[in-house]
Amino acid sequence: MIGSREFSWGERTYLMGVLNVTPDSFSGDGTGDDVEAALQHALRMRDDGADFIDVGGESTRPGSEEVPAEEEMRRVLPVIERLAAGIEVPISIDTYKATVARAALEAGASLVNDVHGFRREPETARVAAEHGVPAVAMHNQRGRPFRDTIGDIAEGLLESLRIAREQGLAEEQVIVDPGFNFGWTEEQALEMLRRLRELQVVGRPLLIGTSRKSTIGKVLGDLPVEERVEGTAATVAIAIANGADIVRVHDVKEMARVARMADAIVRGWPRPA
């Protein structure tokens, strides 16, 4: 269970809709301080097929400045409170900071999405455990030595699982993310997608976020962010074919259709009643 919903991994692909409440989102869709705009965007994503709404108050684009926890909470908490009161889709808080995670869960979030996989702040895993919610642990390659793409990811994710256990969060409560574009060259990011199924050795549900990322822009001739929907669709379909359980996306309506078609091919169609 995540929030009030039960998720059956392997039956279909779930969609996580991105809700940036930042003024400097790389994708250009941040709502800033406009809580009403954020709420309306979340409702549209729900109606378009999002199974989660992932609320983030700090940009993770390369070179972005870190935001103090107090400012991050100022951005995300009013939005989470409004969403929790008016939307039944589980709300995820996109943060690595334990203080932000705790406040967001108390405001109504039911999933923690940590882009550092508990390696920056191990207490974030403890916060999730204390609140009885799952967490996404992402492998972040930025600043780490490279040896082998899948090997480095698997090693990092296993370390995140070790930290989770140490902090009291059961492995069964952890979803893993290989960290597409977080410290990888374009060639390595594409290799990650090709070899994604190898990460099933970690034994946990797999989330991947390729949406609008710079690798797509580079491959397609330096396309700007707003023109990367077709490239995103290709990466989402390949990810599903290679074992992804959740895809984190900006363009929910379009990617819900891609996921539905990919699922029909990969998992069979029509689905059993």
Tokens in use for 256?
A: 């819900």
Contact between 161 and 137 (Cβ < 8 Å): yes
Cα–Cα distance measured from residue 273 to residue 260, given in angstroms and rounded to the nearest whole number: 16
Cα 266 to the chain's mean position, in Å? 22
**Residue 71 neighbours by CB distance under 10 Å:** 13
Would residue 228 show up in a list of annotated catalytic residues for this protein? no
Would residue 5 show up in a list of annotated catalytic residues for this protein? no
Cα–Cα distance measured from residue 263 to residue 258, given in angstroms and rounded to the nearest whole number: 8
Cα–Cα distance measured from residue 90 to residue 5, given in angstroms and rounded to the nearest whole number: 7
Give the type of residue at 133.
V
Which of the following is catalytic: 212, 248, 260, 267? 248
Which runs of E-coded beta strand occur in 116-264? 135-138, 174-177, 207-208, 246-249
Which of the following is catalytic: 102, 213, 253, 260? 213
Q: Which residues of 80-92 are buried (b: 16+ CB within 10 A; e: fewer)?
A: bbbbbeebebbbb
Rg, C-alpha atoms of the chain? 17
Tokens in use for 22?
A: 């930042």
Phi/psi at 83 (5° precision): -65, -45
β-partners of residue 54 are 18, 92
Which residues are known catalytic residues?
213, 248
